Amino acid sequence: MSYTRREIIVNLSYPCYICAAEFGSAKEVIGHIYHVHGYIVDSRPVGRNRPLERKYEFEKKFLGKWDVQRFACPSCWFHCATDIESLTEHIMETHNPPRIEGFVHPVSDGEDDRYELVESSEEENTGNIQVEKAEDEEVVESRQQLGNDIVTALEKLNVTFKRFFS
Ligand SMILES: [Zn+2]
Ligand SMILES: [Zn+2]
């Protein structure tokens, strides 16, 4: 009886342990968790390769040749079956990522963000300084103003955002 010993070729996927969105690399998921959820996930030590495993070989490319996909931890060499709960449990128990202090969600969906919008349009009252316009021009004008207000609000959010991280 003969058999050829062969490692299982694994393609690693890096899902977000909070929302389960999948990414192709540790770097991408760490960035996603930082910017979208406000948690700091440590990266693996720089310049070290994944240690060899007796049972597995790894194929980095999703389009490459592999047998099975597994979920990987972006902070260490842990990987598990494609079950998000196992990964979440590992990350919480082993790494327990700290939350960014005063994190503001970048997508405007909260009360705080609406408040920012109102505040900024009061401060930047450029609309009232405008000289009288013909009626047909007014529509365009207010649309531009609305656009400007949104840009101003976004810029302010951006500044607020940066302040927390500098
Ligand atoms: Zn996520
Ligand atoms: Zn880990």
- pLDDT bin (cut points 50, 70, 90) of residue 141 is low
The pLDDT value recorded for residue 120 is 40
Q: pLDDT over 70 for what percent of the chain? A: 63
Q: What is the mean pLDDT of residues 70-74?
A: 98
> pTM higher than 0.85, yes or no?
no
CA of 61 to the centre of ligand 2 (A): 21
User: 145 in helix, strand or coil?
Assistant: helix
pLDDT at 118 over 50: no
Tokens of 23: 């990414």
Give the span between the Cα atoms of 63 and 158, in whole angstroms: 36
Q: What are the C-alpha distances in Å from 32 to residues 35, 39, 44, 79?
A: 5, 9, 16, 19
Ligand closest to Cα of 78 equals 2
Residues with CB under 5 A from ligand 1 (ion): 16, 18-19, 21
**Per-residue confidence (pLDDT) for residue 29, from 0 to 100:** 98
